[in-house]
Chains A and B, each alone.
Chain A
């Protein structure tokens, strides 16, 4: 038999670190101006960089009011592309009736002439300022000229799977003792203005109660997909760490939240990947330390024995376990597929299961 080098597999990985040095790039989508310097300490609300993004456009017809063809109209233009104009300023004028009458075209808006052609003028009417904020308190580790910075902090990092909102922050308040569902009755008036954390899935009653009590946000393991339309109507964002359905939060994640109960958490939404896939929401809980902790794990993970994994598909979706070995040949699943598999011992029981190598997500603790 021919000797074959063992194959290596690189499944997706999710980070859960109770204490690490965390670096995040915070950048504008288009070039602008960076407002902070390397080494500067910033707050979550600090504006790191700004850029001007054009917003509106006005189209002004010259040919018709000047009573000339489209081709000739541009010859009467008084301001060239690139020039600023004010509202009511004359853009173009033409003398008629032996010079006795002047036909004028005035700009309807303040703006900048961008282009002229086809008997028309395009005026850019305004710009809005794009800002990129720090999102979490930290120190500017690097400046990316024109675009933004790399920000650094120490603390806990949890990568979630789904979010209904945008970046926000708030004080953590863990309201369950474990993986029990998040229900209305565990939410008392003390949760007002906090980020509520539940170790199980979210019941509909909890959403109504949280809305009444004006929570800042909600973090839980999962939620039934049928409640998604309801989430869009809520005044607060919801973050899921596991997915949809009835999946409890991973105990390791729940422990981190419990450990940092009462601290402020910052929820970030990384930009979409180059292929258009939205980034996974991240929860950063800054914790000042005397000595910098090790950096968060980066790069790919090779699937190997000993790694902690989360199972992604039925029949054991949401369960966690430890990789025992990568099987040396592809296996035929009950579904009829023939794929490479790993043998996994499920947490909390002696049962071993064979799972496709890409049906797991490595938990990088």
Chain B
């Protein structure tokens, strides 16, 4: 059956967002979205209520009745056009899973488990290692005490390649099972075994009937081979199961979705995978800064590297993010002076009232400074877990910005600047912007109907924010020093061609408006300083076609890594100049 309409509901930590997709003129596309507060605070907490309020808005905006008089979703779609065929729910509002990881050594299977856990809504409470980082062996009593104290939701044990030694991993399993028995039935952690295949039967015997166990494919079946997918899927599933138990109203929403409840981060990874298919040689980067989590997904060469940074965002997670990163790191991105006192007051106000939004430009700069730090922190985490990305990560194409932090803005310049400051891409790339917060819905759609998802994504439901040309500098350059020049050739739909020359100068951002219609090429590169535009030192193609976009082309001559002035006053002027460059202080963009 061809899908006529789909409703995606994303239950976030601050807002619940409802997105309507429908077949219009034989193509599946985004129709409308609306949101309401996620009603999980206070004595009347009910996730369903937030969804109903969002659907009331969506019905009003789209003109399509979605709820019956009893407040129940109309499904499937009626001949009158009311309701939807399918509902999908994505979720990030539940507290993260509390997880303990166990393995033989930190650099082997445990590293794989850390990568698996990082891509899910999980907080790693403890890591149990047969061999500790200093080379000493841990005792089973130490593991037991650690497991008893941690009281995890899930214990994941891996270790040993298939056919390798079994004894140390069996001891870890025994410790996990023993500790689990201390807790009452129904509260015992789920035990995931993803180690040496030789141990599977023994794992089942050790767990017995008292401890819930799932045996998975070995995360490291042989040296150099990693398979974290099954562990990620199990952690996702457990997150959803726990959320349904803990969050009132979620089971009713799950009923609307006929059980299809997906962690939001997983939905985002589906979108990243799709985008990476278009640029397989460079890969795609999807970033999502929400209220309590920051998600970074890098999809490249068929691989997926993902980090879900909990307690990081611009809602309830803002205070802990601020406390981790500190005043200096936040203040360095601001064009104005602010005292630590005033900044902490704002952080606490926002954490206590996460639905509230900045009204003044000054508070917006602060919020975007937090966005930079949330992205930088997630980036650092990604880099630690996937060191091989360190060589290539800044070359992603495209980079897609999503999440509450990027929603509802009318001035895209500061958003682009925040992304450039935090991610510091090198070479030529495009910044895409999801101002409506559609990505979880698109990812959910991809999970159940890939063909419809492709149709919806092909319709470009996001905005091309800017094309970015950012050279890496081999040595520091003086401010205003000429780096390279090039020509922008634009041919309009009427055939008229315009040409203008652009100079890229050190320390500056140059924004070149590019019309949406017509064709634009960059030509005649003349390299004046030892720079790398992404094609190797001092090299450039003869011509490159670039698309138009909201901001056009941003030439970022500030160098990589970005160097901020050390003097606070000079740094504030630097930030003011860059905001001016992207039109944020001039009011034009």
Using a CB–CB cutoff of 8 Å, the interface residues on chain A facing chain B are: 2, 4-8, 10-12, 25, 54, 57, 59, 61, 70, 81, 114-118, 120, 122, 124, 161-162, 224-226, 243-245, 270, 273-277, 279-280, 298-300, 312-315, 317, 332-339, 355-356, 358-359, 361
Asked whether, in the complex, the Cβ of A275 is within 8 Å of the Cβ of B363, the reply is: no
The CA of A25 and the CA of B44, in the complex, are separated in Å by 12
Query: Which residue of chain A has the shortest Cβ distance to B589 in the bound complex?
Result: A336
Q: Of the candidates B174, B182, B363, B414, which one forms a contact with A57 in the assembled complex, judged by CB atoms under 8 Å apart?
A: B182
Q: Which residues of B contact A315 (CB under 8 A)?
A: 359-360
Asked whether, in the complex, the Cβ of B42 is within 8 Å of the Cβ of A332, the reply is: no
Instruction: With both chains docked as a complex, state the minimum distance between the C-beta of A233 and any C-beta of chain B, in angstroms.
Output: 18
Q: Which residues of B contact A2 (CB under 8 A)?
A: 63
Q: Of the candidates B95, B148, B410, which one forms a contact with A338 in the assembled complex, judged by CB atoms under 8 Å apart?
A: B410
The CA of A315 and the CA of B57, in the complex, are separated in Å by 29
B517 CB–A CB distance under 8 Å: no
Q: Which residues of A contact B543 (CB under 8 A)?
A: none
B489 CB–A CB distance under 8 Å: no
9 other A-B residue contacts (CB within 8 Å) besides A5-B59, A275-B93: A12-B353, A12-B355, A118-B171, A273-B41, A277-B40, A300-B39, A315-B359, A333-B359, A336-B409
Asked whether, in the complex, the Cβ of A10 is within 8 Å of the Cβ of B357, the reply is: no
Q: Which residues of A contact B177 (CB under 8 A)?
A: 115, 117-118
Asked whether, in the complex, the Cβ of A336 is within 8 Å of the Cβ of B40, the reply is: no
- Where chain A touches its partner, the secondary structure class is loop
* A355 in contact with B359 given A274-B45, A317-B349, A336-B410 (CB within 8 Å): yes
**Interface residues in B342-360 (C-beta closer than 8 Å to A):** 342, 344-345, 348-349, 352-353, 355-360
Query: Which residue of chain A has the shortest Cβ distance to B407 in the bound complex?
Result: A337
Instruction: With both chains docked as a complex, state the minimum distance between the C-beta of A86 and any C-beta of chain B, in angstroms.
Output: 20
Q: Of the candidates B44, B348, B409, which one forms a contact with A244 in the assembled complex, judged by CB atoms under 8 Å apart?
A: B348
Q: Which residues of A contact B348 (CB under 8 A)?
A: 225, 243-244
Q: Which residues of A contact B45 (CB under 8 A)?
A: 273-275
Which 6 A-B pairs give the minimum distances between C-beta atoms? A118-B174, A115-B181, A336-B411, A335-B364, A358-B355, A225-B344
Query: Which residue of chain B has the shortest Cβ distance to A162 in the bound complex?
Result: B352
Asked whether, in the complex, the Cβ of B358 is within 8 Å of the Cβ of A335, the reply is: yes
The CA of A270 and the CA of B175, in the complex, are separated in Å by 37
Q: Which residues of B contact A338 (CB under 8 A)?
A: 408-410
Query: Which residue of chain B has the shortest Cβ distance to A246 in the bound complex?
Result: B345
Asked whether, in the complex, the Cβ of A336 is within 8 Å of the Cβ of B364, the reply is: yes
**Interface residues in B165-192 (C-beta closer than 8 Å to A):** 171, 174-175, 177-179, 181-182
Q: Which residues of B contact A6 (CB under 8 A)?
A: 60
Instruction: With both chains docked as a complex, state the minimum distance between the C-beta of A95 and any C-beta of chain B, in angstroms.
Output: 26
The CA of A244 and the CA of B409, in the complex, are separated in Å by 27
B36 CB–A CB distance under 8 Å: yes
* A59 in contact with B345 given A117-B177, A270-B43 (CB within 8 Å): no
Instruction: With both chains docked as a complex, state the minimum distance between the C-beta of B136 and any C-beta of chain A, in angstroms.
Output: 19
B134 CB–A CB distance under 8 Å: no
Binary CB contact string for chain B from 244 to 272 against chain A (1 if under 8 A, 0 otherwise): 00111000000000000000000000000
The CA of A275 and the CA of B328, in the complex, are separated in Å by 30
Asked whether, in the complex, the Cβ of B353 is within 8 Å of the Cβ of A312, the reply is: yes
Asked whether, in the complex, the Cβ of B357 is within 8 Å of the Cβ of A339, the reply is: yes
Q: Which residues of B contact A270 (CB under 8 A)?
A: 43
B341 CB–A CB distance under 8 Å: yes
Q: Of the candidates A273, A275, A313, which one forms a contact with B356 in the assembled complex, judged by CB atoms under 8 Å apart?
A: A313
B140 CB–A CB distance under 8 Å: yes
Instruction: With both chains docked as a complex, state the minimum distance between the C-beta of B157 and any C-beta of chain A, in angstroms.
Output: 13
Instruction: With both chains docked as a complex, state the minimum distance between the C-beta of B587 and any C-beta of chain A, in angstroms.
Output: 10
* A120 in contact with B144 given A313-B359, A317-B349 (CB within 8 Å): yes
Instruction: With both chains docked as a complex, state the minimum distance between the C-beta of A144 and any C-beta of chain B, in angstroms.
Output: 14
* A334 in contact with B359 given A273-B40, A274-B248 (CB within 8 Å): yes
Q: Of the candidates A81, A313, A337, which one forms a contact with B409 in the assembled complex, judged by CB atoms under 8 Å apart?
A: A337
Instruction: With both chains docked as a complex, state the minimum distance between the C-beta of A270 and any C-beta of chain B, in angstroms.
Output: 7
Asked whether, in the complex, the Cβ of B357 is within 8 Å of the Cβ of A244, the reply is: no
Query: Which residue of chain B has the shortest Cβ distance to A61 in the bound complex?
Result: B141
Q: Of the candidates B56, B60, B246, which one forms a contact with A274 in the assembled complex, judged by CB atoms under 8 Å apart?
A: B246
B18 CB–A CB distance under 8 Å: no
Q: Of the candidates A11, A54, A61, A335, which one forms a contact with B360 in the assembled complex, judged by CB atoms under 8 Å apart?
A: A335
Q: Which residues of A contact B94 (CB under 8 A)?
A: 275
Asked whether, in the complex, the Cβ of B349 is within 8 Å of the Cβ of A313, the reply is: yes
Query: Which residue of chain B has the shortest Cβ distance to A275 in the bound complex?
Result: B40
Q: Of the candidates B44, B53, B141, which one forms a contact with A59 in the assembled complex, judged by CB atoms under 8 Å apart?
A: B141
Asked whether, in the complex, the Cβ of B357 is within 8 Å of the Cβ of A118, the reply is: no
**22 residue pairs A–B, Cβ–Cβ below 8 Å:** A2-B63, A4-B61, A7-B61, A12-B41, A57-B148, A116-B178, A118-B140, A118-B177, A224-B345, A225-B341, A225-B348, A274-B40, A274-B45, A274-B248, A275-B94, A280-B42, A299-B44, A317-B349, A332-B410, A336-B414, A339-B408, A361-B353
For chain B, which range describes its interface: under 10, 10 to 19, 20 to 34, or 35 or more residues?
Answer: 35 or more
**Residue among A5, A124, A277, A312 having the largest count of chain B Cβ atoms under 10 Å:** A277
Asked whether, in the complex, the Cβ of B359 is within 8 Å of the Cβ of A226, the reply is: no
Asked whether, in the complex, the Cβ of A244 is within 8 Å of the Cβ of B345, the reply is: yes
**Residue among A57, A124, A336, A337 having the largest count of chain B Cβ atoms under 10 Å:** A336
B206 CB–A CB distance under 8 Å: yes
**Interface residues in B84-101 (C-beta closer than 8 Å to A):** 93-95
B37 CB–A CB distance under 8 Å: yes
Q: Of the candidates B140, B141, B353, B357, which one forms a contact with A335 in the assembled complex, judged by CB atoms under 8 Å apart?
A: B357
Q: Which residues of A contact B174 (CB under 8 A)?
A: 70, 117-118, 120
The CA of A114 and the CA of B363, in the complex, are separated in Å by 55
The CA of A11 and the CA of B37, in the complex, are separated in Å by 8
Q: Which residues of A contact B352 (CB under 8 A)?
A: 161-162, 243
The CA of A154 and the CA of B174, in the complex, are separated in Å by 55
Q: Which residues of B contact A116 (CB under 8 A)?
A: 178
**Residue among A4, A270, A315, A335 having the largest count of chain B Cβ atoms under 10 Å:** A335
Query: Which residue of chain A has the shortest Cβ distance to B57 in the bound complex?
Result: A7
Query: Which residue of chain A has the shortest Cβ distance to B346 in the bound complex?
Result: A314
B13 CB–A CB distance under 8 Å: yes
Q: Which residues of B contact A8 (CB under 8 A)?
A: 53, 56
**Interface residues in B368-391 (C-beta closer than 8 Å to A):** none
**Residue among A8, A122, A274, A355 having the largest count of chain B Cβ atoms under 10 Å:** A274
The CA of A300 and the CA of B39, in the complex, are separated in Å by 10
Query: Which residue of chain B has the shortest Cβ distance to A122 in the bound complex?
Result: B178
Q: Of the candidates A118, A224, A276, which one forms a contact with B341 in the assembled complex, judged by CB atoms under 8 Å apart?
A: A224
Asked whether, in the complex, the Cβ of B144 is within 8 Å of the Cβ of A122, the reply is: yes
The CA of A279 and the CA of B341, in the complex, are separated in Å by 25
**Interface residues in B33-56 (C-beta closer than 8 Å to A):** 36-45, 49, 53, 56
Asked whether, in the complex, the Cβ of A336 is within 8 Å of the Cβ of B361, the reply is: yes
Asked whether, in the complex, the Cβ of B44 is within 8 Å of the Cβ of A298, the reply is: yes
Q: Which residues of B contact A313 (CB under 8 A)?
A: 349, 353, 356-359, 363
B316 CB–A CB distance under 8 Å: yes
Asked whether, in the complex, the Cβ of A114 is within 8 Å of the Cβ of B361, the reply is: no
Query: Which residue of chain B has the shortest Cβ distance to A24 in the bound complex?
Result: B43
Instruction: With both chains docked as a complex, state the minimum distance between the C-beta of A64 and any C-beta of chain B, in angstroms.
Output: 11
Query: Which residue of chain A has the shortest Cβ distance to B93 in the bound complex?
Result: A275
Asked whether, in the complex, the Cβ of B360 is within 8 Å of the Cβ of A118, the reply is: no
Query: Which residue of chain B has the shortest Cβ distance to A159 in the bound complex?
Result: B42
Q: Which residues of B contact A57 (CB under 8 A)?
A: 145, 148, 182
Query: Which residue of chain B has the shortest Cβ distance to A279 in the bound complex?
Result: B42
Instruction: With both chains docked as a complex, state the minimum distance between the C-beta of B334 and any C-beta of chain A, in angstroms.
Output: 14
The CA of A270 and the CA of B41, in the complex, are separated in Å by 11
Q: Of the candidates B53, B181, B206, B356, which one forms a contact with A81 in the assembled complex, judged by CB atoms under 8 Å apart?
A: B181
Q: Which residues of A contact B513 (CB under 8 A)?
A: none
Query: Which residue of chain A has the shortest Cβ distance to B348 in the bound complex?
Result: A244
Instruction: With both chains docked as a complex, state the minimum distance between the C-beta of B289 and any C-beta of chain A, in angstroms.
Output: 15
The CA of A118 and the CA of B43, in the complex, are separated in Å by 45
Q: Of the candidates B148, B248, B360, which one forms a contact with A334 in the assembled complex, judged by CB atoms under 8 Å apart?
A: B360
The CA of A7 and the CA of B36, in the complex, are separated in Å by 11
B340 CB–A CB distance under 8 Å: yes
The CA of A226 and the CA of B357, in the complex, are separated in Å by 23
Asked whether, in the complex, the Cβ of A359 is within 8 Å of the Cβ of B359, the reply is: yes
Q: Which residues of B contact A5 (CB under 8 A)?
A: 59-60
Asked whether, in the complex, the Cβ of A273 is within 8 Å of the Cβ of B42, the reply is: yes
Query: Which residue of chain A has the shortest Cβ distance to B243 in the bound complex?
Result: A274
